[in-house]
Amino acid sequence: MCFRFKISILFLLVITVLTGCWSRRELNDLAIVVAIGIDQAENGQYLVSAQVVNPAEIASQSGSGAGTINYSPITTYQAKADTIVEALRKITTVSPRKIYVSHIRMLVIGEEVAKNGIANVLDFFSRDHEFRTDFFITVTKDTTAEKVLSVYTELEKIPANKLFNSLEMSERYWAPTRGVFLDELLSDLILEGKEPVLTAITITGDYETGEEETNVQEIIQDAQLKYENIGVFKKDKLVGWLNTEESKGFNYITGTVNNTVGHMSCPDGGKFSKEQIVAKSKITPKIVNGKPEIFVHIWTESNIAEVNCQIDLSKMETIKQLEKLASGEIEKHANLAIEKAQKEFQSDIFGFGDLIYRKNPKTWKKLKDHWDEAFSAMPVHVKVDVHIRRFGTIENSFLEELNSTSEEKESE
């Protein structure tokens, strides 16, 4: 009995030292940060903006009654310091609660910081134990992170959630964006023969009104947060942007298009749209005459989404023709992206170098030291297979009948 007692005391003592890193924090002592923005300040300092949730306002059902103050659902605290972690701690001088970063949804990096290099910024995010790695990282275009984090948004009261969901949805249904998590970004940074990309976020409309609460009281918001373009990095520095078409081509090549729509011109004028439902890509590096060449094969399945021209969809030849048109369109986008990456940025965002390394390490060893030049000069062959599967609920467009009846009337 005495022995047991001693053992249990021992266990209790062991428990107290074994707990590792922990601390008891009541929920109402935490400032839950949902987004962090990082801008360049003077003297090499960083301006860190932390978007903090005001839980009571988010979850209030009754709304604001008469006489009560209408609190903003979020607050953005800011601090300037030489390092990120310092700035975040400094925020306690303005925030009543301790900053709690486990739940951040977005990391917004200012354009200026991105141009100077993001490696220094990312160290803290990968080192600190509080972070989960499931937040998206974006880079601002033509604006600052501070501004992006102070715009009122509709539907999602928390702007960070809006940014997160919007990026997730646009990646899934529109394609020319790319949601990048921390681990993905870090591995792209480190990997030889692959360069990172980040989707760009901008503010459209008037930023000044976006900062006001009235922004969300209007039906068409004055200022909105919008994803546009993909920022191309070389090492950890931002070197330029891919526009919408190039971004789409980039995603086609990397096989990350999930679902998208795109329009093409019909053979006899007019336009039609197809909805992408499946897209796969296969990239095979080959050594031709001692020099590497890349063969990209994109295979997609599509549905006809919209027809604004007179074509006979019931005929097999028409479908073949449309498939050819669509292939051409995708090929065009892909080539645009490749050309820009090769000629303008000399940045291997597709990871061709990595594929060569995997397929043929010896060749890669030779190429490694002058990969940028080799990449720019490397021939890339894109081949696209489009298969049109379905037309939707109608076959031929009623436009045809509409036109024919009006012609008949005219002839009468």
Q: Both tokens of residue 288?
A: 């031709």
> Smaller CB distance to another protein: residue 20 or 269?
20
9 binds another protein (CB under 8 A): no
Task: State the helix-helix crossing angle for 361-368 and 352-359, rounded to 10 degrees.
Answer: 130
CA distance 154 to 165: 13
CB of 126 to another protein, least distance (A): 16
Enumerate residues 159-198 that contact another protein by CB under 8 A.
161
Binding test (CB under 8 A) with another protein, winner from 2, 15, 288, 316:
15
Least distance between another protein and beta carbon 24 (Å): 5
Give 181 or 207: the residue with its C-beta nearer to another protein: 181
User: Cβ of 163: how many Cβ atoms within 10 Å?
Assistant: 26
To the nearest whole angstrom, how small is the minimum distance from the Cβ of residue 312 to another protein?
50
State the CB neighbour count (10 A cutoff) for residue 2: 6
Q: Is position 324 an interface residue for another protein (rule: CB under 8 A)?
A: no
Binding segment for another protein (CB under 8 A), chosen from 21-29, 166-174, 196-204, 218-226, is: 21-29
CB of 182 to another protein, least distance (A): 15
Alpha helices in 291-398, H assignment, sequence order: 316-339, 352-359, 361-368, 371-377
- 216 and 153 Cβ atoms separated by less than 8 Å: yes
Closest contact distance (angstroms) between CB of 81 and another protein is: 24
- Phi first, then psi: give them for residue 206, nearest 5 degrees: -95, 115
Token digits of residue 78: 């800011």
- 221 touches 212 (CB < 8 A): no
Exposure b/e, 251-290, CB count within 10 A at least 16 = b: bbbbeebeebebebebeeeeebebbbeebebebebeeeee
Total residues at the site for another protein (CB under 8 A)? 28
- Alpha helix ranges (H) inside 133-226: 145-148, 159-173, 182-190, 207-210
Site residues for another protein, window 136-165 (CB under 8 A)? 158, 161
**Span 85-124, contacts to another protein by CB under 8 A:** 100, 102-103, 105
Query: According to CB under 8 A, which one of 10, 11, 13, 128 is a site residue for another protein?
Result: 11
Only segment of 20-28, 80-88, 141-149, 389-397 that touches another protein (CB under 8 A): 20-28
Nearer to another protein, 20 or 44 (CB): 20
Structure tokens at 142: 């033509």
Looking at the Cβ atoms of 31 and 349, the one nearer to another protein is 31
Residue 19 touches another protein, criterion: CB under 8 A: yes
| Neighbour count for residue 234 (Cβ, 10 Å) | 16
Residues near 52 by Cβ (< 8 Å), separated by ≥ 6?
A: 31, 32, 33, 34, 74, 75, 76, 77, 95, 99
Out of 2, 5, 17, 22, the residue judged to bind another protein by CB under 8 A: 22
Instruction: Return the bridge partners of 201, or none.
Output: 140, 227
CB atoms within 10 A of CB 228: 18
Q: Give the residue ranges of DSSP H helices in 77-225.
A: 84-90, 111-116, 119-127, 145-148, 159-173, 182-190, 207-210
State in angstroms the smallest separation of the CB of 136 from another protein: 13
Among 6, 132, 366, 389, binds another protein (CB under 8 A): 132
Q: What is the CA radius of gyration of the chain?
A: 27
Of 15-23, 117-125, 260-268, 325-333, the segment contacting another protein by CB under 8 A is 15-23
Per-residue mark of binding to another protein, 210-249 (x: CB under 8 A): ----------------------------------------
Residue 37's closest CA among 160, 128, 142? 160
x-marked contacts with another protein along 25-64 as a string, rule CB under 8 A? xxxx-x-x-x------------------x-xx-xxx----
Tell me which stretch binds another protein (CB under 8 A): 16-24, 166-174, 222-230, 360-368.
Answer: 16-24
Q: To the nearest whole angstrom, how small is the minimum distance from the Cβ of residue 29 to another protein?
A: 9
- Residues engaged in binding another protein (CB under 8 A): 11, 15, 18-19, 22-28, 30, 32, 34, 53, 55-56, 58-60, 100, 102-103, 105, 130, 132, 158, 161
